[in-house]
Amino acid sequence: MTWFDTFRTGWEAIRSHRLRSALTMLGILIGIAAVVLTVGLGLGSQQQVGASISSLGSNLLIVSPGSSTDSGGVRGGFGSASTLTVADAQALTSDTAAPDIAAVAPVKSTSTALAAGDTTWTTSVVGTTADWLDVRTRTLAGGRFLTTADDADQAAVTVLGSETATELFGTTDAVGRTVSIGDLSFEVVGVLTAAGSDSTTNLDDQALVPMSTAANRIIGGSTRTAVSTIYLRATSEDTLSAAYQEAQALLLTRHGISDAESADFSIASQESLLATATSVSRTLTVLLTGIAALSLLVGGIGVMNIMLVSVTERTREIGLRKALGAPPAAIRRQFLVEATVLGLAGGLLGALLGIVAARVLPTLLDTTIVVSPAAVAGSIAVAVAIGIVFGVYPATRAARLAPIDALRSE
């Protein structure tokens, strides 16, 4: 029997039992579709996390204050103390002490209500310097950004995020309008281009004001020289590590700390944030893929079960073929071809279903699914392998049947 005859006979056997074959393929189909979707969801989440972290700025380093301890001895987390100051930020701009740091943008923020006419909106008021726009890699939709002169004059000017402008004025065309922050009236001199959200903050919902204005006219208090964060931009991606070391060494010296383990500040980079987030996403993807793969095992058992039933039903056929001279290898090959075709058909249909679902689900759910060609090809290969592996035993059993016993069966 030629290979063509083998495939033709196997295909006729599958077609003669359409419902049974369809139910057999269904288990593999569901498993393959689940694997394609699971891998796609994992890759999509990694892509979203990467985009969110990248939106923080180019070659970014984030310096945060250390922890605080209250009168009862209870320690807060990092960022709860006032260990970073405007002077620290100014020191980091030194070309001598930190030649690999291109720009520095200290930030001092508070949450307060803004008012425009009868409309109020509570948002984050951020005091910063003219370098913030460059460090955070943001652009303006209209107007101008804060200047060094604004900071020197403690000017009552503000740059709004696109969402903040829309909430207050119903449009992003807010340049030249007036907004009240506390008891002060501020002129809107610019509106930021929409940038979405990072892992913790809505980047489009904030009001930026000069650092001196925030410290002395809005926040005040005894810690007005303190800042909540210092953003640093390295000269390039290649110098990010050097900029990190320079910033750490300079701040340790300024704070009189000799041991980096005792530092009253922390420095995070995009690389560390992205590596951590990607590691978590990859672990979850592997876990979910493993769970989805269990359905492939169920599908494989279904293939074996159907092939064993097929061997039982066709015992007389097998006996007749062997009596006419068909070798055991030809019988084994025929049943393996049938099992392989079932696995391949289930794999192709499952991959198609997974691809279609990956295109449809993002329109219904707020998520991103990335179809991986490698995952699709791999899942189809696995489906074929399942057909072969779980078809070996039934095929071997059929090949071992004695012709006389097979012909006697009813």
3-state secondary structure of 201: coil
One domain for residues 254 and 113: yes
Q: Strands, E, within 85-168: which ranges?
A: 101-116, 119-128, 140-143, 157-160
Tell whether 126 is covered by a domain: yes
Mean pLDDT (the chain, rounded): 81
Q: How many domains does the chain have?
A: 2
Q: How do residues 115-166 score in pLDDT, each as one tens digit?
A: 998 999 999 999 999 999 988 888 999 999 999 999 999 999 999 999 999 9
Crossing angle for the helix pair 270-313 and 315-323, to the nearest 10 degrees: 70
One domain for residues 208 and 160: yes
Mean pLDDT along residues 258-265: 86
Nearest to 219 by CA among 82, 343, 357, 311: 82
Q: How do residues 183-236 score in pLDDT, each as one tens digit?
A: 899 999 999 998 876 556 788 999 999 999 999 999 877 778 889 999 999 888
Full-model pTM: 0.58
One domain for residues 168 and 311: no
One domain for residues 38 and 88: no
One domain for residues 104 and 218: yes
pLDDT tier, 340 (very low <50, low <70, confident <90, very high otherwise): confident
pLDDT tier, 81 (very low <50, low <70, confident <90, very high otherwise): low
Mean pLDDT along residues 3-27: 72
Tell whether 306 is covered by a domain: yes
List of residues 6+ apart from 355 with CB closer than 8 A: 36, 371, 376
- Tell which of 211, 231, 263 closes a domain: 263
In the chain, what's the furthest Cα-to-Cα distance? 106
Rounded Cα–Cα distance for residues 132 and 127 (Å): 10
Q: What share of the chain has pLDDT > 90, as a percent? A: 31
* Containing structural domain, residue 367: 3-52+278-408
One domain for residues 299 and 255: no
List of residues 6+ apart from 125 with CB closer than 8 A: 109, 110, 111, 112, 114, 181, 206, 207, 209, 214, 218
